[in-house]
Amino acid sequence: MSRVFINEHGFVRSGWKVLGFFVLMMALGVPVFLIAKVLHAPRLGMGSGVWISAAIAALASFICVRLEKRSFQDLGLHPGGRWLTEFLAGTLGGILLILVTALLVRGLDGFHWERASSAGVRPLLITALAFLGVGFNEELVSRGYPFQRLVEGAGTWVGQLVFAAMFALMHWGNPGMSGATKAWATLNIGLAAILLGFCYLRTKSLALPIGVHLGWNWAQGSLLGFGVSGTTDIKGFWSPVFHGKPEWLTGGAFGLEASLPCALVCGALILLLWRWKGTAVASADVSTASAS
């Protein structure tokens, strides 16, 4: 019976580590939100709420790696010049990816832009901070400890596909998730998860995926004025005016993540990242004995 939980090297199997992480994260998070409810704390907005969730995910990750006698930094959080460079490159890359997607839709006569008269620099900075929190939170959960341990134990593609499915399912409760929009959004969010997974796997750092996540969301909503996974109605620097084309082409109110051009852009980048050998440096060689 013990072999179900322990591998032949005497280590806990990776699947149980993944499950343990999510149980621990729930155990840490539920009391926080129950206390807030008892104290009648005001409803947290996206900015503060996502940073609290990110802190809970970080604490759960820290506890898990310390139980393994590993370093928290080995999850891909190495401070320094390289990390910052990859983060900034990822942010720029995320902006370019969503811009290319938008230009494809626009080129197919899906919409045109109008300049938003009420846009200002301050809202751009506030939403950037909020989307940075989203990036940290979702990457710690989806490309951090549980993803990395599943990849160690079951292999790259098992980890990629399992967390792509999980990442897509996490968005099923978002507004607008129905019909064809749900199908296209599920496909594209899953592809985005694989893309972000390769960003980690090729660098062994969370800097690149966090940056891509930030740049993609921020540019899509705060700059270009589209919805972001159906959850935002941000007044961007520009506002798209749709031309009545099918939502599978434009993404509609859900955002570009529910469009065919998004699938094409994500698919093309996945192929490039799959072929790229990466820039990973030896930060902490993972013992195969602790996997499986």
146-166, pLDDT tens digit by residue? 999 999 999 999 999 999 999
Q: What is the pLDDT of residue 204?
A: 95
Evaluate if residue 208 carries a pLDDT over 70: yes
Question: What count of residues does the chain have?
Answer: 292
Predicted confidence (pLDDT) per residue in 256-282, tens digit: 999 999 999 999 999 999 988 877 654
Q: Encode burial over 69-81: b for 16+ CB neighbours within 10 A, e otherwise.
A: ebeeebbbbbeee
CA-to-CA distance for 246 and 214, rounded, in angstroms?
A: 28
Three-state DSSP state, 114: strand
Q: How confident is the model at residue 1 (pLDDT cuts 50, 70, 90)?
A: low
Give the list of residues 6+ apart from residue 114 with CB closer than 8 angstroms, or none: 238, 239, 241
Gyration radius from the chain CA atoms: 20
State mean pLDDT over 114-138.
87
d(CA 181, CA 198): 26
* C-alpha dihedral, 86 to 92 to 93 to 94, nearest 10°: 110
On whether the CB atoms of residues 240 and 225 are closer than 8 A, the answer is yes
Tokens standing for 196?
């972000």
User: What's the whole-number mean pLDDT along residues 183-197?
Assistant: 97
Q: Which of 90 and 286 is assigned the larger pLDDT?
A: 90
pLDDT score, position 277: 81
Cα–Cα distance, 225 to 244 (Å, whole number): 17
Residues contacting residue 202 through CB under 8 Å, at least 6 positions apart: 208, 273, 276, 277, 278, 279, 280
pLDDT score for 75 = 96
Nearest residue to 83 via CA among 279, 215, 225: 279
Which residues pair with residue 239 across a beta bridge? Answer: 114
Assess whether pLDDT exceeds 70 at residue 44: no
Residue 285 pLDDT greater than 60, yes or no: no
Structure confidence at residue 45 as a pLDDT band (50, 70, 90): low
Whether 108 shows a pLDDT value over 80: the answer reads: yes
Helix (H, G, I), strand (E, B) or coil at 241: strand
Banded pLDDT at 283 (limits 50, 70, 90)? very low
DSSP 6: B
Tell me what the mean pLDDT of segment 49-77 comes to: 94
Q: Give 115's pLDDT tier (boundaries 50, 70, 90).
A: confident
pLDDT tier, 288 (very low <50, low <70, confident <90, very high otherwise): very low
Query: Reduced to 3 states, what is the DSSP secondary structure of residue 113?
Result: strand
Average of pLDDT values for 81-88?
A: 96
> What span, in angstroms and rounded, lies between the C-alpha atoms of 269 and 194?
10
Q: Give the angle 63-64-70 at the CA atoms, nearest 5°.
A: 95
**Dist CA 261 CA 265 (whole Å):** 6
What's the rounded Cα separation, in Å, for the pair 172 and 85? 33
Which has more pLDDT, 190 or 126? 190
- Whether the predicted pLDDT of 232 surpasses 90: no
Average pLDDT over residues 79-103: 96
SS3 assignment, position 112: strand
pLDDT at 290 over 70: no
pLDDT > 70: percent of the chain: 89
* Nearest in space to 200 (alpha carbons), one of 167, 224, 231: 167
Percentage above 90 pLDDT, the chain? 67
- 13-22, 223-232, 244-253: the lowest-pLDDT one: 223-232
Whole-number pLDDT of residue 10: 64
Give dist(CA 254, CA 239) in Å, integer. Answer: 14
- Nearest alpha carbon to residue 235 among 129, 103, 134, 126: 126
